[in-house]
Amino acid sequence: MQVNACMNDRVAADLSPVFKALADPTRRRLLDRLHQQNGQTLGELCGSLSMARQSASQHLAVLEAANLISTTWHGREKLHHLNPVPLHDIQERWIDKFERPRLRALSAIRHSAEEQAMTAPPTYVYVTYIQASPEQVWRALTDADLTARYWGHSNQSDWQPGSTWQHLRTDGSGIADITGTVIEAVPPHRLVLTFPGSAEQRENPSQVTFTIEPHEQIVRLTVRHEGVPTEADYQAISGGWPAVMANLKSLLETGDVLPQAPWAMDAELSGG
């Protein structure tokens, strides 16, 4: 037992420089670069990481001391090579004692979750506080005349779940720039709509949820826009919702909308 303990201590001590070298993210990036393309010069490694030569040299010296890299000379060029042996020693000492099938399963689950997170459409959330009652805010969201005043479009529907709602222009043309479906309506607290605001959303429209929460003489209005399919759509709603909600807030608190349309300012500042 004592012999085994001494051997384990020796192995752990031998690996200490390796763990120390791997603890630094810059040195791990250097190893990643060598894994991608082995046998690079100092200049090549510096260029790929935008790093000063002196700083890179210091990191490479630590990696070489830990036996994680080796060097060879090719004429006047010093080439750096990845040495996987210490990493294999870590695997034998710290990983192989565990069940490999279980570790592989956990790794597969993690990678699957990361891929889903990367491919899932983004969600935009906007929160504002308004000096008004929940009933006033609900009416402002669903009344055709009020929406025409602060939104520049008239929102029309009977606001029953399953009904169609339309975002109609106020120029008398009768053109609906958006036609969606009322998914949920719980007056005066929650309204959920499909919101196909672009051609990319016709088959799978995004969804908007308005949540109205009262607190004494004010309410918190939260706009949650989910399933936004493109970066252009996300940029559009990131400027659009704050502008629309600012106009709604002004109308309810002062009786009038802002003197200039806030979305026009956003378009001008963004070069739109």
**pLDDT of 13 over the 60 cut:** no
| Residue 120, pLDDT score | 62
**pLDDT of 110 over the 50 cut:** yes
Q: Is 228 exposed, middle or buried (0-12, 13-18, 19+ CB in 10 A)?
A: buried
**pLDDT of 47 over the 70 cut:** yes
CA atoms within a 13 Å half-sphere pointing along the CA-CB vector of 119: 6
User: Which pLDDT tens digit goes with each residue over 154-206?
Assistant: 999 999 999 999 999 999 999 999 999 999 999 999 999 999 876 666 678 99
| Residue 6, pLDDT score | 47
Instruction: Indicate the average pLDDT of the chain.
Output: 85
Regarding predicted confidence, which is higher, 14 or 97? 14
pTM: 0.56
* Mean pLDDT to the nearest integer, 33-39: 89
Q: Three-state SS for 96?
A: coil
| Residue 138, pLDDT score | 98
| Residue 258, pLDDT score | 94
- Tell me, letter by letter, the H, E, C secondary structure of the chain: CHHHHHHHHHHHHHHHHHHHHHCCHHHHHHHHHHHHCCCECHHHHHHHHCCCHHHHHHHHHHHHHCCCEEEEEECCEEEEEECCHHHHHHHHHHHCCCCHHHHHHHHHHHHHHHHHHHHCCCCEEEEEEECCCHHHHHHHHHCHHHHHHHHCEEEECCCCCCCEEEEEECCCCCCEEEEEEEEEEECCCEEEEEECCCHHHCCCCEEEEEEEEEECCEEEEEEEEECCCCHHHHHHHHHHHHHHHHHHHHHHHHCCCCCCCHHHHHHHHCCC
The band of 98, judged by pLDDT with boundaries at 50, 70 and 90, is: low
Of 41-50, 104-113, 152-161, give the lowest mean pLDDT range: 104-113
The band of 48, judged by pLDDT with boundaries at 50, 70 and 90, is: low
Beta-bridge mates of residue 220: 129, 213
Cα-only R_g, the chain: 30
User: Which pLDDT tens digit goes with each residue over 255-268?
Assistant: 999 998 887 776 66
The band of 54, judged by pLDDT with boundaries at 50, 70 and 90, is: confident
User: Which pLDDT tens digit goes with each residue over 142-164?
Assistant: 999 999 999 999 999 999 999 99
Residue (of 150, 203, 157, 201) closest to 176 by Cα position: 157
| Residue 235, pLDDT score | 86
Contact between 31 and 67 under an 8 Å Cβ cutoff? The reply is: no
